[in-house]
Amino acid sequence: MSAPSIDGQFTWNVSGLLADGVGADRTYDISGATIELPDELELAGPISGRVRLKRTNRGILAEARLTTTLAGECARCLRPLTTPIDVRLEEEYLPSIDFQTGRPVDIDAEPEALRLSDHHELDLEPSVRDAILLAEPIAPLDRPDCPGLCAVCGLPLDEGEHDHPDDEIDPRLEALRAFRPD
């Protein structure tokens, strides 16, 4: 079964799922979603895919399979490029408030656990953001054999002529050349 998310692109109220009991699940289609990224990172396209929320004996297991594209630049020639990103994540969220009694749960017992909000909302956005950051390529290339930039003129080596006459060569390179032992 698919249904739109209620509160936000990656936020769901899971009260119903908590009430349904262990093993119950809901599937949500994600399309046209977006997310803020830190460090000058930028999405080049929307996030799409599917999120499945499943009631476990302790809380809610979120499984997501998402795709998007990241904007970036070629590590060699600095031309803009986009990198397809494929994200899979699986995280269990534990309640902050006991669903049966309405009493606060002892969160300090598991300080590292991901938590549902006091209103039984699951916010998957931080996990989605982390997963996208992890999937970011370290040194993307616009093509595998990108020759990079010309050391003399600074333009991409696969554009134009780079058979530079000597008088165009950077004087610093010329000075190095003069040190050759021959």
| Residues of the shown chain interacting with Zn ion in the complex, contacts defined by CB under 5 A | 74, 76-77, 142, 146, 150, 152-153, 162
Strand pairing partners for 43?
70
Task: Report DSSP state, residue 156.
Answer: B
Tokens 């999120």 belong to residue: 51
| Between 46 and 140, CB nearer to Zn ion | 140
Residues 6 or more apart from 128 whose CB is under 8 A from it?
10, 35, 47, 64, 66, 87, 89
Shortest reach from residue 83's CB to Zn ion, in Å: 13
Nearest to 99 by CA among 18, 30, 168, 11: 18
CA distance 39 to 155: 27
Shortest reach from residue 74's CB to Zn ion, in Å: 3
Shortest reach from residue 68's CB to Zn ion, in Å: 22
Shortest reach from residue 170's CB to Zn ion, in Å: 11
Shortest reach from residue 135's CB to Zn ion, in Å: 20
| Between 61 and 153, CB nearer to Zn ion | 153
CA distance 109 to 39: 33
DSSP characters over 14-40: -HHHHHH-TT-EEEEEEEEE----STT
| Between 77 and 85, CB nearer to Zn ion | 77
| Between 77 and 87, CB nearer to Zn ion | 77
| Between 97 and 150, CB nearer to Zn ion | 150
**Sign of the torsion formed by the C-alpha atoms of 89, 42, 79 and 150:** negative
